[in-house]
């Protein structure tokens, strides 16, 4: 009971300190939601409304129909109709357009004769991702147009409709509209929660040192684990509130809701937050000043969570050595579980190994923080 009272006293003290520090409170509570909105709209892999220029040398009904099909999609916006293909090249160089379509002068004549009628696509390849997507979209439009031409020709001459050897009926699970936000938002949540929680708690012990109040904590009848709990729990409560705000923003603005059980989501989030808070507290016991603690927190969370968690870059595409390093990043396990709960509606039966590893990370970082505080106490005494 006495231990509980000591932890509660430190909890209240730390909570009051957080409330009096608008920077720490804003970093934990408001900043993640604000950054989610900012990155959620700025960071996208969707290819929409690309400017396309057309050089129609045929000027026939068939060429106009092909151009109309390009312009009807959400992927391309007709920006320029040029008289010379070289003008399209110049516009691509100037980044006025991203795609150029050149239709030769004998386009309709070849179609009517039943011959192949090639068209030329000029694509800005400086961004390989966009260029690959544009190529796929353009080829799909042209193939659909070609299929329609074959059908109309067969009907006109009273022939049997050609049977296509392979027909694909794709059914896309969990993200049928192929919106990149559904993929990116869970990753942003993992990234923002880790960075903000580690930074916030990494300043806690170093702040006590710089203010000269560390000696008071050493002289108080507190054991290191009690100090860890007393300093961690206030940040945990604020971080849980920030998580709720983030989930609300993701549902309202990005239409990314939680399909799974809220209790499972809560368990995964709490374990992840404890792992982040433990890491921040461990940094705080090692660093000599708040500036050093901040730098270590940034280096240990920003790049690993962004690059090595599977947030943007698929882990299975990484070299084996880098894949091995990703096992040291808690966000890897959290992101697997979070996407499972939010997008697929799966439960613990699917990602229980990730939950156990998050628990192991939380226990490890909090235990190491307690041991470091014990050594720090002995040094000050």
Q: How far from 307 is each of 198, 296, 302, 325, 331, CA to CA, in Å?
A: 17, 17, 8, 11, 10
In the chain, the percentage of residues whose pLDDT exceeds 90 is 42
What confidence category does residue 214 fall into, taking pLDDT thresholds of 50, 70 and 90?
A: low
In the chain, the percentage of residues whose pLDDT exceeds 70 is 91
Give me the mean pLDDT over the 209-213 stretch.
Answer: 71
At residue 28, the pLDDT reads 78
At residue 189, the pLDDT reads 93
Statement: residue 12 has pLDDT above 60: yes
Kindly state which CATH superfamily the domain 48-155 is placed in.
abc type-2 transporter like domain (3.40.1710.10)
Statement: residue 40 has pLDDT above 60: yes
At residue 297, the pLDDT reads 92
Statement: residue 184 has pLDDT above 80: yes
What confidence category does residue 113 fall into, taking pLDDT thresholds of 50, 70 and 90?
A: confident
Domain ranges of the chain: 48-155, 179-378
Q: Which of 36-45, 295-304, 345-354 has the weakest average pLDDT?
A: 36-45
Q: Which of 97-111, 176-190, 242-256 has the weakest average pLDDT?
A: 176-190
Statement: residue 133 has pLDDT above 70: yes
């Amino acid at each position: 009971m006495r231990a509980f009272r000591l932890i509660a006293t430190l909890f209240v003290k730390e909570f009051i300190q957080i409330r009096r520090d608008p920077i720490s409170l804003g970093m934990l509570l408001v900043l993640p939601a604000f950054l989610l909105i900012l990155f959620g709209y700025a960071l996208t892999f969707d290819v929409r409304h690309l400017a396309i220029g057309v050089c129609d040398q045929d000027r026939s009904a068939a060429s106009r129909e092909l151009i109309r099909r390009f312009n009807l999609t959400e992927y391309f916006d007709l920006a320029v109709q040029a008289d010379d293909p070289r003008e399209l090249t110049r516009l691509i160089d100037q980044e006025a357009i991203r795609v150029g379509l050149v239709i030769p002068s004998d386009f309709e004549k070849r179609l009517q004769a039943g011959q192949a009628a090639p068209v030329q696509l000029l694509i800005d390849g400086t961004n390989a991702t966009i260029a690959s997507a544009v190529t796929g979209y353009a080829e799909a439009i042209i193939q659909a147009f070609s299929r329609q031409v074959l059908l109309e020709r067969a009907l006109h001459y009273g022939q049997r409709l050609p049977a296509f050897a392979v027909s694909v009926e794709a059914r896309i699970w969990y993200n049928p509209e192929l919106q990149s936000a559904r993929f990116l938002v869970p990753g942003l949540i993992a990234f923002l929660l880790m960075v903000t929680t580690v930074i916030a708690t990494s300043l806690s012990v170093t702040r006590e040192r710089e203010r000269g109040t560390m000696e008071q904590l050493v002289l108080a009848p507190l054991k290191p684990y009690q100090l860890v709990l007393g300093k961690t729990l206030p940040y945990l409560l604020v971080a849980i509130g920030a998580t709720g705000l983030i989930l609300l923003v993701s549902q309202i603005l990005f239409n990314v809701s939680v399909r799974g059980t809220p209790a499972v989501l809560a368990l995964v989030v709490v374990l992840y937050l404890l792992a982040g808070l433990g890491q921040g507290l461990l940094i705080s016991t090692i660093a000599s000043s708040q500036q050093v603690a901040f730098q270590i927190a940034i280096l240990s969370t920003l790049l690993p969570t962004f690059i090595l968690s599977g947030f943007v870059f698929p882990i299975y595409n990484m070299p084996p050595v880098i894949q091995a390093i990703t096992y040291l990043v808690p966000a890897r396990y959290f992101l697997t579980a979070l996407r499972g709960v939010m997008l697929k509606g799966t439960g613990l039966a699917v990602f229980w190994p990730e939950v156990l590893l998050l628990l192991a990370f939380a226990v490890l970082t909090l235990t190491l923080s307690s041991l470091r505080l014990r050594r720090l106490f002995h040094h000050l005494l």
